[in-house]
Amino acid sequence: MRGTMSVKSLAWCALLAAATASAQGRVDERRAAAADGTVAIETGGGSVRVVGWDKAEVTVTGTLGADSQRVEVRGDRRKLRIEVVPERHDHPGAADLEIHVPAGSRVEVEAFQAAVDVEGVTGSVRAETVNSSITFTGTADDVRLESVNGGVSVRGRSARINVESVNGPVDVSDPGGDLQAGTVNGPLKVSGALGLARGRLESVNGRVTFEGKLAARGALDIENVGGGVDLAISSPADYRVSTFNGAIVNEIGPGPQAVRGHDEDDEDDETPGKELTFSAGSGGARVTVTTLNGRVRIMKGR
Amino acid sequence: MSTCDDVRERLDDFVDGLLEPAEAAAVAGHLEGCASCRREEQALRALLRDAAALADTVAPPRDLWPAIERRLRHGSGAWLRGLAAAAALLLAVGGALLARTAPAPAPSGPETAVQLDGTGRLQEAALQAAEMARLEAEYDQAAQVLLVELRARQDRLPPQTVAQVEASLRTIDTALGQIRTALAQQPSETGLHMMLASTHRKKIELLRRVVRVGA
């Protein structure tokens, strides 16, 4: 009899513990928020999805990871801070969260290893990760995304975009306005540009690809040390392309000229390097490409 | 835990909040009664504050670069002013900290290459090389300080992340070497000077970002 009670007690304890753990693992928070306030999010791992909506409130739903104590939401309507609190100070906490914010918010995300996905925010978005990806979809005033080893992806015609990854790929679709993008090793791809006013694309060793249209007086500057550059611009532009050790392939105009050394009388003093200057169509926009070793290919735009 | 040695062994974890409550209370109790260990603790906290601020102060502000780039594109005199501005800003924002943490190396060799020619005008290429060498020296100092910080904190990052960051730094250093080689052949090539400066900037930004994450 006594043994039976003990087994039952243990079973109840187990059920109770499971229920408690499940309740602790769920996140469901709601706060009033200003239409253009700041929402700062800090997490270690898992995933964060931020969605802009037309309500004057912030909601946080999701599931805590096993190594996290709780999600802490503090602050006021103007500035809310959402933090995944880890079990141990020396170990990042993880959670899978979906956070709705007023569309006009200023969103700031610091996520060590959590994948970050933001959409529908029209204010500004700043996100930083170390080992995970960041994506933004929509049209915001200002987008700034940085990752060390993860990929960074932006879709939409935001006014200002600044994206960087060290080792991951950077992919920007349909940009207009101002764009700055950079990588060290990862490929950098811009596609569907529509009236880009100003672009600066830099890489140390990754391939840079640009496809789309520039604004009539727009400017696009590309610099790559070791990687190649592929261009397919479907709007009039004045090109100035130079490479020190690489090649220039122009499929829409004249070929490059070799660059000579400074002593024009000495035939042995020819230094490596090629330059190409030409206009496509009526010109207007300015395109400058500089590489050290990478091949530059200029193709017909679609 | 009654001896100063015991406490000092645990100071790092104490200021990081990593000790168990009982252990932390014991350290706190010792600090209350020991002025020497208290000074150690205060010095450590000050160092950590400096290190946290370092990541935001060593590198030049991002928006300096468009102005430098415009100057570079507008001819020799202007580009020299741009490089000087960059070097000056680096000194201004990082100099005090750098002076505390690392011995400032003497300006590197090319500065001595600045000479007057027969008509009294500065030789353009030599001056460009001197200015770029000065800028590179400043970047190298900033990178060294950040590298020390990275080494001190790398156990807070996953080993794979540290390995990838170090591989990226090697990529950047290789690129810097290649650009310098190209500049030796074409010292007046403005595009190469710009490439050298922007590649240095990428190295500083990478280090600054990783140090900040490890803080």
Please determine, for the modelled complex, whether the ipTM score is greater than 0.85. no
A75-79, A191-195, A236-240, B184-188: least confidently modelled range: B184-188
pLDDT computed for residue B36 by the predictor: 81
Q: Do A184 and B179 touch (CB under 8 A)?
A: no
* pLDDT tens per residue, range B10-33: 777 777 676 777 888 888 888 888
Rounded CA gap, A112 and A45, in Å?
6
pLDDT computed for residue A14 by the predictor: 41
Ramachandran region, residue A46 (left: φ > 0; alpha: ψ -120 to 50; beta: rest):
left
Rounded CA gap, B27 and A78, in Å?
40
Q: Do B168 and A167 touch (CB under 8 A)?
A: yes
The ranges assigned to domains in chain B are 4-53, 78-214
Looking at the complex, report in whole angstroms how far the Cα of residue A72 sits from the nearest Cα belonging to chain B. 19
The structure tokens listed for A11 are 């079973």
Q: Which of A202, A204, A259 sits opposite B171 (nearest CB)?
A: A204
Confidence of residue A67 (pLDDT cuts 50, 70, 90): confident
- A 10 A CB-CB count for B124 gives 14
Nearest residue to A273 (alpha-carbon basis) of A284, A287, A262: A262
Q: Which residue of A has its CA nearest to B180?
A: A292
- Chain A CB contacts of B192 below 8 Å: 244, 292
